[in-house]
Amino acid sequence: MTIQQPTSPDAPTLRREILHHLTYALGKDEKHASTYDWRMALSLALRDQVVDPWFASTRKTYAQKGKRVYYLSMEFLIGRLIEDVAVNLGMEDTARAAMEMLGQDYERVVADEPDAALGNGGLGRLAACFLDSLSTLGIAAHGYGIRYEHGLFEQHFENGAQIETAENWLAQRHAWEFERPEVRYEIGFGGYVSEEGGATEWHPADKVIASAYDTPVIGWKGKWANTLRLWGAKPTQLFDLASFNRGDYLGASQPEALARTISRVLYPDDTTNTGKELRLKQEYFFTSASIQDLIRRFLSEGLDLRTLADHVAIQLNDTHPAIAGPELVRILADEHGIEIDEAITIARGCLAYTNHTLLPEALERWPEGLFAHVLPRHYRIIALIQERHFADSGSPVRIIEHGEVKMGELAFVMAHQVNGVSALHSELVKETVFADLHKAYPGRIINQTNGITPRRWLYTCNPPLRNLLNTTIGTAWPADLAQLEKLESHADDAGFQADFLAAKQQNKAHLAAWLKERDGTVINPAAMFDVQIKRIHEYKRQLMNLLETVALWNDIRDNPAGNWTPRLKIFGGKAAPGYVVAKEIIHLINDVAKVINNDPATRDLLQIIYPANYNVTMAENLIPAADLSEQVSTAGKEASGTGNMKFALNGALTIGTLDGANVEIREHVGAENFFLFGLTAAEVVARRGEPDFSRRAIEASPHLPRVLGQIADGRFSPSDRHRYGGLVRRLYEHDYFLVSSDFDSYFATQRIVDAAFRDSVGWNRMAILNTARVGWFSSDRTIASYAKDIWGVSPRNT
Region label for 686, one of left (φ > 0), alpha (ψ between -120 and 50) or beta (otherwise): alpha
Among 184, 535, 587, 773, the active-site one is: 535
Burial class for 682, CB neighbours closer than 10 Å (0-12, 13-18, 19+): exposed
To ligand F58, the closest distance from the beta carbon of 665 in angstroms equals 12
Out of 639, 652, 768, 772, the residue judged to bind ligand F58 by CB under 6 A: 639
Rule CB under 6 A: is residue 357 a binding residue for ligand F58?
A: yes
Which ranges of 432-524 does DSSP label H, i.e. alpha helix?
Answer: 435-440, 454, 463-473, 494-519
Those residues with Cβ within 8 angstroms of residue 80's Cβ, 6 or more apart along the chain or in another chain: 110, 113, 114, 115, 116, 616, 617
Helix (H) or strand (E) holding 354: strand 351-354
Beta bridge partner(s), residue 265: 150
Q: Which of 151, 222, 611, 641 binds ligand F58 (CB under 6 A)?
A: 641
Known active-site residue 642: yes
CB closer to ligand F58, 344 vs 433: 433
Pick the piece of the chain touching ligand F58 (CB under 6 A) from 46-54, 122-130, 147-155, 541-549.
Answer: 122-130
Residue of 21, 218, 391, 154 lying closest to 797 (CA atoms)? 218
* Cβ atoms 225, 408 nearer than 8 A: no
Q: Which of 79, 121, 188, 775 forms a contact with ligand F58 (CB under 6 A)? A: 121
Residue (122 or 572) nearer to ligand F58, CB? 122
Q: What's the min distance (Å) between Cβ of 624 and ligand F58?
A: 20
Question: Which of 565, 642, 654, 771 is the catalytic position?
Answer: 642
CA geometry: angle at 433 spanning 428 and 437, to 5°?
A: 105
Instruction: Please state, as a whole number, how many other Cβ atoms lie within 10 Å of the Cβ of residue 8.
Output: 13
Q: Per CB under 6 A, which region of 116-124, 400-408, 583-591, 743-751 contacts ligand F58? A: 116-124
* Part in contact with ligand F58 (CB under 6 A); list of ranges 13-21, 120-128, 476-484, 570-578: 120-128
Give how far the C-alpha of residue 456 lies from the chain's centroid of Cα atoms, to the nearest Å: 13
- Rounded least distance, CB 407 to ligand F58, Å: 11
Select the residue interacting with ligand F58 from 155, 227, 426, 450 (CB under 6 A).
Answer: 450
Interface residue with ligand F58, options 37, 270, 548, 584 (CB under 6 A): 270
**610, 656 Cβ separation under 8 angstroms:** no
Pairing of strands 141-146, 154-158: unpaired
Rounded distance between C-alpha atoms, residue 565 and residue 750, angstroms: 11
CB of 73 to ligand F58, least distance (A): 10
Using the minimum distance from each CB to ligand F58, give the nearer residue, 61 or 419: 419
Whether 540 sits among the annotated catalytic residues: the reply is yes
- CA–CA dist 8, 85 (Å, integer): 13
Contacting ligand F58 (CB under 6 A), which of 229, 356, 438, 455?
356
Size, binding site for ligand F58 by CB under 6 A? 18
- Are 213 and 188 in contact, with CB atoms under 8 Å apart? no
Q: Is 753 exposed, middle or buried (0-12, 13-18, 19+ CB in 10 A)?
A: buried
The binding track of 407-426 with respect to ligand F58, each residue x by CB under 6 A or -, is --------------x-----
Catalytic residue among 21, 365, 389, 534: 534
Tell me which residue of 256, 254, 257, 276 sits closest to 267, measured CA to CA: 276
Piece of the chain touching ligand F58 by CB under 6 A; list 114-122, 297-305, 649-657, 738-746: 114-122
> Which residue in 79, 138, 321, 660 binds ligand F58 (CB under 6 A)?
660
Residue 362 touches ligand F58, criterion: CB under 6 A: yes
Phi first, then psi: give them for residue 476, nearest 5 degrees: -85, -15
Nearer to ligand F58, 357 or 694 (CB): 357
Stretch that binds ligand F58, among 118-126, 287-295, 308-316, 621-629 (CB under 6 A): 118-126
* Residue 431 Cβ vs ligand F58, minimum distance, rounded to whole Å: 17
Q: Identify which of residues 421 and 544 has a Cβ nearer to ligand F58 in the complex.
A: 421
- CB 146 → ligand F58: shortest distance, Å? 12
356 catalytic? Reply is yes
How many beta carbons lie within 10 A of that of residue 388, not counting itself?
17
Region of 27-35, 354-362, 390-398, 787-795 interacting with ligand F58 (CB under 6 A): 354-362
What's the per-residue H, E or C state across 753-791? Answer: HHHHHHCHHHHHHHHHHHHHHCHHHEHHHHHHHHHHHHH
Q: Would you count residue 282 as binding ligand F58 (CB under 6 A)?
A: no
Could you tell me if residue 641 is left (phi over 0), alpha (psi between -120 and 50 degrees) or otherwise beta? left
By the rule CB under 6 A, 123 interacts with ligand F58: yes
Q: Which is nearer to ligand F58, 146 or 218 (CB)?
A: 146
Backbone angles phi, psi at 210, to 5 degrees: -100, 125
Give the 3-state DSSP-derived string for 202-247, with helices as H, strands as E and coil as C. Answer: EECCEEEEEEEEEEEEECHHHCCEEEEEEEEEEECCCCCHHHHHCC
Report CA dihedral (129, 134, 136, 139) to the nearest 10 degrees.
180
Instruction: Select 119 or 255, whichever has its Cβ closest to ligand F58.
Output: 119
CB of 410 to ligand F58, least distance (A): 16
Of residues 72, 82, 86, 126, which one binds ligand F58 by CB under 6 A? 126
Rounded Cα gap, residues 478 and 474, in angstroms: 10
Binding segment toward ligand F58, per CB under 6 A, in 117-125, 238-246, 321-329, 665-673? 117-125
Contacts of 645 (CB under 8 A, 6+ apart): 450, 451, 452, 457, 661, 665, 774, 777
Q: Which is nearer to ligand F58, 576 or 753 (CB)?
A: 576
In the complex, minimum distance from the CB of residue 646 to ligand F58, in angstroms, rounded to a whole number: 11
Each residue 312-331 as x (binds ligand F58 by CB under 6 A) or -, in order, gives --------------------
> Under the criterion CB under 6 A, does residue 664 sit at the interface with ligand F58?
no
Catalytic residue chosen out of the listed positions 223, 540, 583, 723: 540
Question: Min. distance of Cβ 273 from ligand F58 in angstroms?
Answer: 7
Least distance from C-beta 121 to ligand F58, angstroms?
Answer: 4
Active-site residue set: 356, 534-535, 540, 642, 646
Residues making contact with ligand F58 (CB under 6 A): 120-123, 126, 269-270, 356-357, 362, 421, 450, 638-642, 660
